Amino acid sequence: MKKSLSLTLLIITGFALFSIASCGSSTQPQAKSNIPEAAKQVAKADYTYDEEEMASAEKNAAASSTRAFKGFSIYGDARSPDNHYIPAGYMGDYSDVKIDAACFDNPHSGTTCIKVTYSNAVSQGARWAGMYWQSPANNWGDKKGGFDLTGAKKLTFWARGAKGDERIEEFKLGGITGLYPDSDIAGIGPVMLTQEWKQYEIDLSGKDLSYISGGFCWATNIDVNPDGAVFYIDNVKYE
């Protein structure tokens, strides 16, 4: 009992001395230097826990954002209410390009696909041509539009050539500049088409998709298609 009482008195005396020292301290650094080591360890442990908790919360938020993206269609079928963007951005030798967005010629799925006819007339003297699917139509960055596609990991589409060996120099999205520019750009190419439907994919990892007014695009030229080209596109969507 005496030994326990002595130990208790010693502990009380220690805390009393610590309180007196703390109250007598006139500067903040001195007060910090008097914090017991055990208290420092507790504070450090709490701080580490808070950092881990925040990191976990951010990770969960990112995962939720990814899960929230359920797909975004540009073209599924001619009359699909889920279609977005408009094939209105003619480029280069624009008179050499014809678009049939309701073609019944062997679609990949559904009842229709997109038929693109590119002639070798070089009507505007550019020797190349292309087409943007835009929002709104004819938007070259001079007006607000586009969509926030944050969370999409890729853009996929199916394509085939009428004869095979049609060469498309680039399929892409984004890249429109101007007063209201697209937030990023991504693409693939050149692509050699076959007569059979084939799915293609544009990787969107790490891309800023917060504002995309140029949802889909293709471009080619007369040098790689001296006889022109006829090709088909179907099932264009962000995933």
Q: Pick the last residue of a domain from 19, 34, 68.
A: 68
The answer on 79 and 60 residing in a single domain is no
The answer on 23 and 137 residing in a single domain is no
The answer on 234 and 147 residing in a single domain is yes
198 has a pLDDT exceeding 60: yes
Count structural domains, the chain.
2
Distance CA 174, CA 185 (A): 4
Residue range 62-114, pLDDT digits in tens: 443 445 898 999 999 999 999 999 999 999 999 999 999 999 999 999 999 99
The answer on 188 and 102 residing in a single domain is yes
- Average pLDDT value for the chain: 81
**pTM check: above 0.95:** no
The answer on 219 and 205 residing in a single domain is yes
Least confident segment among 35-44, 71-80, 120-129, 131-140: 35-44
**Burial class of residue 139 in the structure, from the number of CB atoms within 10 Å of its CB (0-12 exposed, 13-18 middle, 19+ buried):** buried
Please give the average per-residue pLDDT across 137-158, as a whole number. 97
Residues 62-81: b if buried by 16+ CB within 10 A, e if exposed: eeeeeeeeeebbbbbbbeee
The answer on 83 and 29 residing in a single domain is no
Other beta carbons less than 10 A from residue 61's beta carbon: 10
Q: Pick the last residue of a domain from 49, 68, 87.
A: 68
The answer on 167 and 100 residing in a single domain is yes
The residue range of the domain holding 105 is 72-238
What was the pLDDT predicted at 72? 98
First to last CA, the chain: 75
Please give the average per-residue pLDDT across 223-236, as a whole number. 98
What was the pLDDT predicted at 67? 53
Residue range 157-185, pLDDT digits in tens: 999 999 999 999 999 999 999 999 999 99
For residue 110, the domain's CATH number is 2.60.120.260
The answer on 54 and 102 residing in a single domain is no
Write the DSSP assignment of 30-59 as a string of letters: HHHHTS-HHHHHHHHHHHHHHHHHHHHHHH
What was the pLDDT predicted at 44? 32
The answer on 103 and 23 residing in a single domain is no
The answer on 167 and 101 residing in a single domain is yes
25 has a pLDDT exceeding 50: no
Q: Residue 23: helix, strand or coil by DSSP?
A: helix
The answer on 228 and 132 residing in a single domain is yes
Q: Pick the last residue of a domain from 18, 46, 68.
A: 68
233 has a pLDDT exceeding 90: yes
48 has a pLDDT exceeding 50: no
21 has a pLDDT exceeding 50: no
The answer on 45 and 95 residing in a single domain is no
Distance CA 128, CA 164 (A): 19
